[in-house]
Amino acid sequence: MTNLLEGKNIVIMGVASERSIAWGITSSLHKAGANLIFTYRQDRSYKKLTKLLDKHDITAKLIVSCDVANDESITEAFSTIKEKIGTIHGIVHSVAFANREELQGEYADTSRDGFLLAQEISAYSLVAVTKAAKDLMTEGGSIVTQTYLGAERVIPNYNVMGVAKASLEASVRYLAEDMGKYGVRVNAVSAGPIRTLSAKGVSGFNEKLGMIEEKAPLRKNVDQDQVGDATLFFMSELSRGITGEVLHVDSGYHIIG
Ligand code: NDP
Ligand code: KAL
């Protein structure tokens, strides 16, 4: 797997800590020889990221700030990438957000603002980023996002985020059709529960981990490296015939009734 991404410029969005799924992806793509560009939102994430890169002896080609809730910030980030890097071959979209108080109780209580916020950051951002990256992906490439089973089924507490992920998965299909003619593939990885900053403090997370150990065919939880390797597959030519797909990396849990 060492040379799968040699010479490829790939943008990774969403490293907030060593536990981030995007950090597992960073490891896999780095081992495959990719040149990595990172985007972050909070200064705290920038500090974590630079420390992690240092610790693991990974050199970033570029690190730029990008708040996906803000069109100007997206345009600025991608024009900096265009100016400093030129052509890119891939984007890893690993960002999501909903108000904590709406990730519990009844979905029927979701506020208009909370609904729109979750959609904006967790689903529309993939569209906005694809739009901004279009003229940098002149040699074709691959866009990969992260989703969860709550898009397909009702999972307690996931609520407004489940509806945002359903919108994200539908966007993957529509974007796959649009971008296919430019040689760009668009896919999603649907990961099982992984303890990250996002998962911290949300109700019902530990129960979900237990459920996988008990019911999933592989009887164990997945980790960031497994999601990283599946994302590497989507980034590489090994998946050249696949687009518009949602691939479950969840120990097989989704097949169990
Ligand atoms: P993390 O908390 O590590 O990452 C979430 C990231 O979202 C952070 O880097 C955060 O950046 C970023 N983010 C939030 N709002 C914005 C914004 N407005 N602009 C730019 N970036 C933003 O959690 P995960 O690694 O768990 O989450 C990554 C993805 O994986 C998400 O899409 C999540 O839904 C998905 N997923 C997670 C699962 C899990 O069990 N953990 C399971 C299945 C899917 P910052 O902190 O700088 O704001
Ligand atoms: C059924 C599950 C249990 C948990 C329910 C909801 C999880 C929603 C994920 C969503 C991304 C979490 C947040 O938006 C948290 C946010 O309100 C507060 N946290 C933060 O601001 C931190 C500091 C930053 C880094 O986080 C973000 N996101 O910016 C779902 C479980 C089993 C699987 C998970 C966790 C899925 C998923 O999508 O993450």
Q: Which residue among 46, 94, 126 has the greatest number of ligand 1 atoms within 8 angstroms of its CB, and so is best to mutate?
A: 94
Specify whether 174 is catalytic: no
> How far is ligand 2, taken at its centre, from the CA of residue 199, in Å?
5
Does ligand 2 have an atom closer than 6 angstroms to the CB of 96? yes
Residues 6+ apart with CB under 8 A from 148: 155, 158, 161, 162, 165, 190, 191
Helix (H) or strand (E) holding 22: helix 21-31
Yes or no: say if 224 and 19 are a contact pair by the CB < 8 Å rule: yes
Q: Which atom of ligand 1 is nearest to the CA of 121?
A: 18
Cα-only R_g, the chain: 17
257 confidence band (pLDDT: 50, 70, 90)? very high
Active site residue: 148, 174, 182, 253, which one?
148
> How far is ligand 1, taken at its centre, from the CA of residue 121, in Å?
10
7 confidence band (pLDDT: 50, 70, 90)? very high
pLDDT given at position 202: 86
Yes or no: say if 250 and 221 are a contact pair by the CB < 8 Å rule: no
Q: Which domains does the chain have, with CATH numbers?
A: 9-248 (3.40.50.720)
Does ligand 2 have an atom closer than 6 angstroms to the CB of 158? yes
The pLDDT of residue 250 is above 90? yes
Q: pLDDT tens across 54-106, in order?
A: 999 999 999 999 999 999 999 999 999 999 999 999 999 999 999 999 999 99
Give the ipTM of the model, two decimals please.
0.99
Q: pLDDT tens across 203-237, in order?
A: 889 999 999 999 999 999 999 999 999 999 999 99
Q: Which residue has the tokens 């490296």?
A: 225
Angle made by CA atoms 166, 92, 224, in degrees to the nearest 5 = 85
- How many whole angstroms separate alpha carbon 232 and alpha carbon 223? 14
pLDDT given at position 204: 87
Dmax (CA) of the chain: 50
Q: pLDDT tens across 111-142, in order?
A: 999 999 999 999 999 999 999 999 999 999 99
Q: pLDDT tens across 153-212, in order?
A: 999 999 999 999 999 999 999 999 999 999 999 999 999 999 999 999 888 899 999 999
The one-letter amino acid at 173: R
pLDDT given at position 2: 74
- How many whole angstroms separate alpha carbon 21 and alpha carbon 164? 18
- How many whole angstroms separate alpha carbon 86 and alpha carbon 37? 12
Distance of CA 86 to the CA centre of its chain: 22
Percent of the chain with pLDDT over 90: 98
Specify whether 158 is catalytic: yes
Yes or no: say if 25 and 227 are a contact pair by the CB < 8 Å rule: yes
The tokens for 192 are 């099982």
Q: How far is CA 190 from CA 63, 151, 222, 228, 254, in A?
A: 26, 9, 11, 12, 10
Q: Which residues of 189-206 are buried (b: 16+ CB within 10 A; e: fewer)?
A: bbbbbbebebeeebeebe
As to burial, measured by CB atoms within 10 angstroms (0-12 exposed, 13-18 middle, 19+ buried), residue 94 is buried
1 confidence band (pLDDT: 50, 70, 90)? low
Report, as an integer, the average pLDDT of 15-22: 98
